[in-house]
């Protein structure tokens, strides 16, 4: 893949992986991206996962056609991007490793060596000339690790964005970018909204024609669309008007209430997404929770607490700084309903949540009173 006359793609596709980072379902695989900038001097941008190290080195060799790299720029030390460093260093003993000071500490921890005899340490505003191409480095701490840097090529106006603007799925996968990028963002980067906002401020000062992330496709058209989505996501703003109903149900009565609420809302023209937390991809439910402005949490009282899948879901929301949303509750309990109280307590750490005045209480199964409460909740949400 040619990014520009001098910049070539040398990454790999992983079609064997089932869970990324041990938890995110990736039915369309995963891309580990790497790039070569060939000028008077040659820089390779990041490595790939260990399982694909040999393929990556062959890609570099094929693109360079007899030339050898001068630099390996390491923007992010997570193993899916760094585990090829030692193999690269062995194959190209004269190449210099370029990275942040914290990255070299991590290299020592990961590999037992920090390349002290062949390294360049870069920080905010550092530059590296390859000839016609001048690289400028910007620090991006906690997007989403503390050592991260991103790199801007002034000549071709390319931003090498590390994990930013990445998505699940192999290169060439025919799927909506926003859906898998949103699931990726909120699962992996979403906790660090302030840090992403800080990086976006730096990016706004640059004239960017192309974004080259470490996962997913190269972005070269309609960049404002992607940047605006990141502004919304990182500020925990509402991307789409609508209601998410996330629920668990043991014997079907809570599910019946959820289905009734969804039917009423849809009948009023409201966009509704329903997630059965016992069966859905938890990351998919998380994606919806951060996409829409309103959410209803519906579950049973269970051992004086709440059903385990709801507890897990709310823990994910809190961990990832869920905020700026309207939240309604449906609880079910046969003798001592406690679910709404427990859910509110769990959400206490979240910022700028507005709770609906109506909380639906079901005593085992829907009756006239709880059905009327559902209608009142629907009116509030509308």
List CB contacts of 369: < 8 A, sequence separation 6 or more.
none
Residues 363 and 229 in one domain: no
Considering the domain boundaries, does residue 29 fall inside one? yes
Considering the domain boundaries, does residue 1 fall inside one? no
Residues 168 and 127 in one domain: yes
Q: Tell me the pLDDT tens digit for each residue of 131-178.
A: 999 999 999 999 999 999 999 999 999 999 999 999 999 998 888 899
How confident is the model at residue 71, as a pLDDT? Answer: 98
| Side-chain half-sphere CA neighbours of 165 within 13 A | 24
Gyration radius (Cα) of the chain, Å: 24
How confident is the model at residue 87, as a pLDDT? Answer: 96
> From CA 4, how far away is CA 210, in angstroms rounded?
10
Q: Tell me the pLDDT tens digit for each residue of 92-107.
A: 999 999 999 999 999 9
Question: Does pLDDT of 304 surpass 90?
Answer: no
Mean pLDDT of the chain: 96
How confident is the model at residue 92, as a pLDDT? Answer: 97
* Crossing angle for the helix pair 193-203 and 223-234, to the nearest 10 degrees: 150
Q: Tell me the pLDDT tens digit for each residue of 26-60.
A: 999 999 999 999 999 999 999 999 999 999 999 99
Q: What CATH number is given to the structural domain containing 264?
A: 3.40.50.360
Domains held by the chain: number: 2
Question: Does pLDDT of 2 surpass 90?
Answer: yes
Domain edge (last residue) among 199, 219, 234: 234
Residues 194 and 314 in one domain: no
Domain edge (last residue) among 167, 201, 234: 234
**Which residues are 332's β-sheet partners?**
300, 362
Q: Tell me the pLDDT tens digit for each residue of 195-246.
A: 999 999 999 999 999 999 999 999 999 999 999 999 999 999 999 999 999 9
Considering the domain boundaries, does residue 2 fall inside one? no
Structure-token pair, residue 263: 């039917």
Considering the domain boundaries, does residue 259 fall inside one? yes
How confident is the model at residue 142, as a pLDDT? Answer: 95
Question: Does pLDDT of 336 surpass 90?
Answer: no
Question: Does pLDDT of 1 surpass 90?
Answer: no
pTM: 0.92
Domain edge (last residue) among 234, 263, 288: 234
Residues 185 and 244 in one domain: no
Domain range enclosing 334: 240-381
Q: What CATH number is given to the structural domain containing 92?
A: 3.60.15.10
How confident is the model at residue 174, as a pLDDT? Answer: 85
**DSSP-derived pairing of the beta strands 292-302 and 240-247:** parallel
Residues 155 and 35 in one domain: yes
């Amino acid at each position: 893949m040619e990014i520009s006359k001098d910049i070539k793609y040398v990454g790999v596709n992983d079609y064997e992986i089932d869970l990324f980072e041990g938890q995110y379902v990736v039915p369309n695989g995963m891309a580990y991206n790497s790039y070569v900038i060939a000028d008077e001097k040659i820089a390779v941008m990041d490595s790939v996962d260990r399982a694909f190290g040999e393929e990556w080195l062959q890609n570099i060799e094929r693109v360079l056609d007899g030339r050898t790299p001068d630099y390996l720029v390491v923007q992010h030390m997570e193993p899916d991007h760094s585990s090829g460093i030692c193999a690269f260093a062995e194959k190209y003993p004269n190449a210099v490793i370029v990275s942040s000071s914290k990255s070299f500490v991590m290299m020592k921890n990961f590999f037992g060596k920090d390349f002290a005899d062949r390294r360049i340490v870069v920080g905010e505003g550092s530059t590296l000339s390859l000839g016609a191409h001048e690289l400028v480095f910007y620090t991006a701490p906690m997007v989403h690790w503390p050592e991260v840097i991103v790199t801007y090529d002034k000549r071709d106006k390319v931003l090498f964005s590390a994990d930013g603007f990445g998505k699940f799925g192999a290169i060439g996968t025919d799927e909506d970018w926003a859906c898998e990028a949103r699931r990726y963002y909120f699962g992996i980067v979403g906790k660090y909204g302030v840090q992403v906002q800080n990086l976006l401020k730096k990016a706004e000062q640059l004239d960017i024609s192309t974004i080259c992330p470490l996962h997913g496709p190269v972005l070269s058209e309609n960049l404002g669309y992607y940047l605006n989505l990141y502004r919304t996501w990182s500020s925990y703003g509402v991307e789409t008007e609508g209601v998410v109903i996330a629920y668990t149900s043991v014997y079907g009565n809570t599910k019946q209430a959820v289905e009734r609420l969804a039917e009423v809302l849809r009948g009023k023209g409201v966009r509704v997404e329903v997630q059965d937390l016992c069966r859905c991809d938890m990351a998919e439910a998380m994606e919806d929770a951060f996409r829409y402005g309103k959410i209803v949490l519906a579950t049973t009282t269970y051992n004086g607490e709440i059903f385990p899948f709801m507890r897990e879901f709310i823990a994910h929301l809190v961990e990832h700084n869920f905020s700026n949303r309207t939240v309604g509750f449906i609880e079910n309990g046969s003798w001592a309903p406690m679910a709404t109280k427990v859910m509110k307590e769990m959400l206490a750490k979240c910022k700028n949540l507005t709770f609906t005045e109506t909380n639906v209480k079901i005593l085992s199964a829907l009756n006239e009173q709880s059905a009327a409460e559902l209608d009142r909740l629907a009116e509030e949400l509308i």
